[in-house]
Amino acid sequence: MTHTFAHTAFLGDQEYTFRLTPALITELEAKCGSGIGALCNRVFARAYSQSDITETVRIALIGGSTAPKRAAELIAAYVHNQPITDTAELAARILEKTLFGNPHETTDGQA
């Protein structure tokens, strides 16, 4: 079983869970036109495109159990109407958890 790490954050109207599973990472790579490492480099260096940010958040919402249609609605309502840097911070946190997990957590889920 592959372990994936989730990030919980407020988006628009409530807290949501954001998670990128291996299958969703592949989808994110296809949508952004580059591998996960290059995408992370762009986001962490603040050299991202708008689609890097919006697709990271949308796909991670789906990975966190938000229905795809609802995830698209959330992006339209709360991401497209905000400064890009606000959402870029969320995308960076999602990618950070995906790459590094929870460094102080053991494999049994305890700190």
Q: Which residues contact 29 (CB under 8 A, 6 or more apart)?
A: 35, 36, 39
Per the structure, the count of domains in the chain is 1
In-domain check, residue 34: yes
C-alpha distance from residue 95 to each of 41, 76, 77 (Å): 10, 21, 22
In-domain check, residue 105: no
Check residue 64 and give its pLDDT.
96
Each residue's pLDDT tens digit, 31-80: 999 999 999 999 999 999 999 999 999 999 999 999 999 999 999 999 99
Which amino acid, 66?
Answer: T
- Residue 42's domain spans which residues? 6-99
Sort strands 14-19 and 6-11 into parallel, antiparallel or unpaired: antiparallel
In-domain check, residue 110: no
Check residue 1 and give its pLDDT.
37
In-domain check, residue 109: no
Angle between helices 84-100 and 50-63 (to 10 degrees): 50
The three-state secondary structure class of 14 is strand
